[in-house]
C-alpha cells in the first residue's frame, strides 16, 4: 500500500509541474503574438492618450513576469479575469460552456467506449477472419478522415438530405434530455467515429498479447468456449492498457472537440475559444487553454493511477 501511495504522489507532483510549465508556455505564447491588445479593443481611430490609459488599466505596462504571477495567482483563486471583447466575467462564461462540452464528451464516451471494447472482443474472437478484417477496415477508414470532413458528410446526408437530425447543435437549459440528445446526435457520431478506431485497435492488441499466456492455453484445454476464454480470462488481465487508451481518448473528447463544436455551432468551450481568438481576447485564450490542459493532465493522471492499481508489475519497474 505504501508503494502505491508513493507512486501516486509522484504522478500528482509531476502533473502539477507539467501544468505549471504549460501555464508558462500559454502565457508566453499569448504575449508574443503580434499586434496591440489595446489597439484591437479601441480600434484604429483611438488616440495615443486613450491607448496609454487602457494599457495602464489592463496592466500591460508591468513587466511580463509580474503579469504572469498576477494571472496565475488569480487563476488559482478562481479569478479568470474579464473578457476584453465584451466585459463579461470569464469564469461565469466558461462555467456554462464547460458544462456543455462535458455533456457532449460524456455522451460520446457512453457510445464509444462500450462499442470499442465490444468490437475489440469480436475482432479477437474472429481473428484474421472476415469480421476482424471488416471491423478493422471500417474503423481505420474512419480515423483516416479528418473530423470536419466526417462532420460535413453527416450534416449533408442526415441534416440536409434526409432531415432526420438537426445540422446545428443548439442546446439550452429549458430543453428536455431527449431534445438535447437529439440536438447533439451528429456531433456525438463524429466524435465516436474519430476515437473508436484507436480504442478498438488497442483493445484488440492488448487482448491478443494476453492470449499468448500459459493460463489461456490451460483454459482452452479445459474446454471453455473461445468467447469465455477471451471475456473471463484474457480481458480482465488486459484491462490496464485498455484503461490507459480509454482515458487518453476521453481526454481527447474533452480537449479535442474544438473543430466539432465549430462545425456544429455547439455552445461549448471550443466554440468559445475560437470566437475569442478571432477577437484577440488574450485573457479568454489563456483561461481556456489552461483549463483544457488541466483536464488533459487530470484524465491522464487518472489513467496512470488506475494502471498502477490494476497492474502490480508497474509498482516494481525494476
Q: Contact at 8 Å (CB) between 300 and 251? A: yes
Q: What is the pLDDT of residues 121-173, one digit of tens each?
A: 888 888 888 888 898 888 888 878 888 888 888 998 988 888 888 888 888 87
Residue 46 is assigned to a structural domain of this protein: no
Residue 237 is assigned to a structural domain of this protein: yes
Q: What is the pLDDT of residues 190-199, one digit of tens each?
A: 988 888 888 8
Asked whether residue 318 carries a pLDDT value surpassing 60, the answer given is no
Cell of 86: 465584451
CA distances from 285 to 178, 192, 205, 290 (A): 33, 27, 39, 9
Three-state helix/strand/coil letters over 254-298: HHCCHHHHHHCCCCCHHHHHHHHHHCCCHHHHHHHHHHHHHHHHH
Q: What is the pLDDT of residues 274-287, one digit of tens each?
A: 888 777 778 888 88
Burial class (CB in 10 A: 0-12, 13-18, 19+), 224: middle
Q: Could you tell me the sign of the dihedral formed by the alpha carbons of 264, 270, 272, 274, in that order? A: negative
Note the Cα 93 to chain centre separation in Å. Answer: 19
Domain that holds residue 255: 90-315
Judged by DSSP in three states, 157 sits in helix
Angle in degrees, 0-180, between the axes of helices 130-144 and 90-125, rounded to the nearest 10: 150
Mean pLDDT of 279-303: 84
Q: For the chain, how many structural domains are there in total? A: 1
Residue 11 is assigned to a structural domain of this protein: no
Residue 43 is assigned to a structural domain of this protein: no
Comparing C-alpha atoms, which of 285, 295, 294, 296 is closest to residue 27?
A: 285
The confidence score (pLDDT) of residue 179 equals 87
Give the whole-number percent of the chain exceeding pLDDT 90.
2
State the pLDDT confidence band at 35, using cuts at 50, 70 and 90: low
Instruction: Provide the CATH number for the domain around residue 159.
Output: 1.10.3720.10
Residue 152 is assigned to a structural domain of this protein: yes
Residue 68 is assigned to a structural domain of this protein: no
Residue 29 is assigned to a structural domain of this protein: no
Residue 255 is assigned to a structural domain of this protein: yes
Beta bridge partners of 89: 82
Beta bridge partners of 82: 89
Three-state helix/strand/coil letters over 195-263: HHHHHHHHHHHHHHHHCCCHHHHHHHHCCCCHHHHHHHHHHHHCHHHHHHHHHHHHHHHHHCCHHHHHH
Amino acid at each position: 500500500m505504501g508503494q502505491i501511495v508513493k507512486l501516486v504522489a509522484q504522478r500528482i507532483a509531476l502533473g502539477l509541474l507539467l501544468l505549471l510549465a504549460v501555464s508558462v508556455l500559454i502565457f508566453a505564447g499569448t504575449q508574443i503574438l503580434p499586434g496591440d491588445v489595446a489597439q484591437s479593443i479601441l480600434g484604429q481611430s483611438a488616440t495615443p492618450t486613450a491607448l496609454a490609459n487602457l494599457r495602464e488599466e489592463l496592466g500591460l505596462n508591468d513587466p511580463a513576469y509580474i503579469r504572469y504571477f498576477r494571472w496565475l495567482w488569480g487563476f488559482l483563486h478562481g479569478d479568470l479575469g474579464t473578457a476584453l471583447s465584451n466585459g463579461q466575467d470569464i469564469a461565469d462564461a466558461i462555467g456554462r460552456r464547460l458544462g456543455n462540452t462535458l455533456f457532449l464528451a460524456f455522451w460520446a464516451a457512453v457510445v464509444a467506449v462500450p462499442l470499442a471494447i465490444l468490437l475489440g472482443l469480436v475482432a479477437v474472437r474472429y481473428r484474421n477472419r472476415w469480421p476482424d478484417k471488416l471491423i478493422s477496415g471500417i474503423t481505420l477508414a474512419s480515423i483516416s478522415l479528418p473530423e470536419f470532413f466526417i462532420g460535413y458528410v453527416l450534416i449533408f446526408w442526415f441534416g440536409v438530405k434526409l432531415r432526420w437530425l438537426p445540422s446545428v447543435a443548439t442546446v439550452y437549459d429549458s430543453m428536455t434530455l431527449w431534445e438535447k440528445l437529439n440536438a447533439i446526435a451528429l456531433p456525438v457520431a463524429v466524435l465516436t467515429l474519430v476515437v473508436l478506431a484507436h480504442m478498438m485497435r488497442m483493445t484488440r492488441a492488448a487482448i491478443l498479447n494476453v492470449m499468448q499466456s500459459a493460463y489461456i492455453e490451460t483454459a482452452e484445454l479445459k474446454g471453455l468456449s473461445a468467447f469465455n476464454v477471451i471475456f473471463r480470462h484474457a480481458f480482465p488481465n488486459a484491462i490496464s492498457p485498455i484503461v490507459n487508451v480509454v482515458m487518453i481518448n476521453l481526454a481527447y473528447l474533452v480537449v479535442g472537440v474544438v473543430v466539432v463544436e465549430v462545425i456544429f455551432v455547439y455552445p461549448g468551450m471550443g466554440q468559445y475559444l475560437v470566437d475569442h481568438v478571432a477577437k484577440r481576447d488574450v485573457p479568454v485564450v489563456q483561461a481556456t487553454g489552461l483549463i483544457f490542459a488541466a483536464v488533459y493532465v487530470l484524465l491522464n493522471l487518472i489513467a496512470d493511477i488506475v494502471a498502477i492499481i490494476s497492474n502490480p508489475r508497474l509498482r516494481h519497474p525494476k
